[in-house]
Structure 1
């Protein structure tokens, strides 16, 4: 009994430390998941599989099956109008389409690194539409990130710099994809503040599945018929679906536990995982400019994250009936998206 009491007292005294360690561990799971799904998409691209919407379809199908079942069991009305979710899903599908498509033209390293561009888009969108005001240091941090990404562009512009058939075009696709992801993130932030994460994920899965089905019928039927299916391609498809479902499930949780600071810092390691994958599995040399770019992006994100303020929630309403909590930053902000990458 005495030993158990001591253990309980130690856990109570170090509860905050345990929470931080758990959140860091969770962040690394997300980071590794992002890197492995990027590897899966890159592998399929090298095998001539060019069906990005179909890949996303299985992700949305998994989310709809798991979280939709929970919603049916609850039998509760939606807290957010369905058309918000439909628009959110459409934007998210387009982001996934362009993101996966980019692996056909550029390297996995470039794709994961340029995914950091979402922070810039989120800052712009929240400033324009949500009235968010950032600190000077947050702008400086974001600017440093852009400088780092420019080094990655410079690497891809050199001969053999980034790998892929058209690295600059692939980089452009990723940048446009991050714009869609930013729109999706801001929309998800808008919806998730009513504190029902299950509803948001399930509706994103349902409408994402419907949008994907329509685009597959219109644009990808011939590409699907041209695929030479094999056991490894099927396994990679399944692995991609499982990984992305896990990613979509865990990102809202880590935001609820710690906010964007630890999330952004954790996601950084996915870039290093991608470098390891590129070296070990593709046996490619990584241009030294990538390491410079990564270091600069790390510095920029650390500056950005270290200078964000603690948010305070307030309530607002949509269509006169929906209560949603937004975050207000202490001295210099109204509402905060916390500069997150995609959930």
Structure 2
């Protein structure tokens, strides 16, 4: 639990730090590394099987994000960083940490109590975050001017509280891969805010990218119910094949042997006649 909280907190710190060194476009693109990392980790440790339809949905979602990056370049919005290589390494490291955090949280929320998980995440996450701030961001905290301009940070804190409160629910229902694919839409909502709140113009490729991500999510999640039903049927079949006949309290092979040696007349009045059968190797 402590390791899961540490990776989650460290991911946020590393990715935010990367914005100081590389461009926004690079962060958006490289942060997608969390998706293949999550797919690999869930396949390796949670034994999740991905069908062709789900892989197609993932590919379409990633293609939509690539369109967002290309639209930034086409519109001339790309801004360079002071140390792009360092920033890119930080983004890749942060995406890997986020994938580890999501997969471990998915495992914990499916085998444990959801309320207890959220409580432990909040407790240990707060302690770890305070330690990180006191070590790495002490000078930044001291330089903050506590005025009315700092009020929007309260809204940011509320939004993050709601996000981390709802993440365990989504992980339990759909899994960590669906969570990371859904997070791709955050860039699209940012575009809508730019258009309607700040009245900025965006490239037409943004809208194509938004549609691609939405279609990819529908394709990925569309076959989940069928997969769950197939898994439940297969599991039930395996259990029935392994368990003996509980109602008769005998072995299925013995029950078949006994029933084949008993014949009853159609009128139901004559007692059944038992015909001798050959001895079986197993005694019932």
Within 2, Cα distance between the matches of 1:157 and 1:287?
A: 10
1:155 maps to which of 65, 71, 95: 71
Matching residue of 1:178: 95
- Say yes or no: does 1:146 pair with 2:74: no
Counterparts of residues 252-263 of structure 1 (less than 5 Å) = 252-254=168-170, 259=174
Question: Which segments of 5 or more consecutive residues in structure 2 lack a partner in the other structure?
Answer: 235-284
- Say yes or no: does 1:278 pair with 2:183: no
2:219 maps to which of 303, 306, 319: 303
SS in 1 for 2:224: coil
Decide whether aligned partners of structure 1 residues 175 and 293 sit closer, same or farther in structure 2, where only a CA change above 3 A counts: farther
1:188 maps to which of 93, 105, 108: 105
Shift of 1:153: 2.7
Question: Which segments of 5 or more consecutive residues in structure 1 lack a partner in the other structure?
Answer: 1-84, 314-327, 332-343
Within 2, Cα distance between the matches of 1:254 and 1:204?
A: 16
Please list the CA deviations of residues 205-259 of structure 1 after superposition, one character each: whole Å capped at 9, or x if unmatched.
12212221221122111122222332121x1221111111111112333555x53
What is the RMSD computed on CA atoms of the aligned residues? 3.7
- Say yes or no: does 1:212 pair with 2:132: no
Structure index of larger Rg: 2
Contact 2:61 2:216 in 1 (8 A): yes
Within 2, Cα distance between the matches of 1:283 and 1:111?
A: 24
Matching residue of 1:89: 5
Decide whether aligned partners of structure 1 residues 132 and 153 sit closer, same or farther in structure 2, where only a CA change above 3 A counts: same
Please list the CA deviations of residues 169-214 of structure 1 after superposition, one character each: whole Å capped at 9, or x if unmatched.
5787656533322211111111112341111111111221222122
Within 1, Cα distance between the matches of 2:218 and 2:88?
A: 24
Please list the CA deviations of residues 273-330 of structure 1 after superposition, one character each: whole Å capped at 9, or x if unmatched.
31122234455432333223222222222211113345669xxxxxxxxxxxxxx687
Decide whether aligned partners of structure 1 residues 213 and 268 sit closer, same or farther in structure 2, where only a CA change above 3 A counts: closer
Within 1, Cα distance between the matches of 2:33 and 2:61?
A: 8
Within 1, Cα distance between the matches of 2:199 and 2:18?
A: 20
Counterparts of residues 1-343 of structure 1 (less than 5 Å) = 85-101=1-17, 118-158=34-74, 160-162=76-78, 164-166=79-81, 176-233=93-150, 235-254=151-170, 259=174, 270-310=186-226
Contact 2:56 2:216 in 1 (8 A): yes
Decide whether aligned partners of structure 1 residues 158 and 312 sit closer, same or farther in structure 2, where only a CA change above 3 A counts: closer
Structure with larger RCO (C-alpha < 8 A, sep 6+): 1
Decide whether aligned partners of structure 1 residues 253 and 126 sit closer, same or farther in structure 2, where only a CA change above 3 A counts: closer
Contact 1:149 1:297 in 2 (8 A): yes
Within 2, Cα distance between the matches of 1:171 and 1:292?
A: 26
The alignment's TM-score, normalised by the length of structure 2, stands at 0.65
Please list the CA deviations of residues 113-138 of structure 1 after superposition, one character each: whole Å capped at 9, or x if unmatched.
97666443321211122222110111
Within 1, Cα distance between the matches of 2:233 and 2:221?
A: 15
The alignment's TM-score, normalised by the length of structure 1, stands at 0.55
Within 2, Cα distance between the matches of 1:187 and 1:148?
A: 27
Within 2, Cα distance between the matches of 1:137 and 1:304?
A: 7
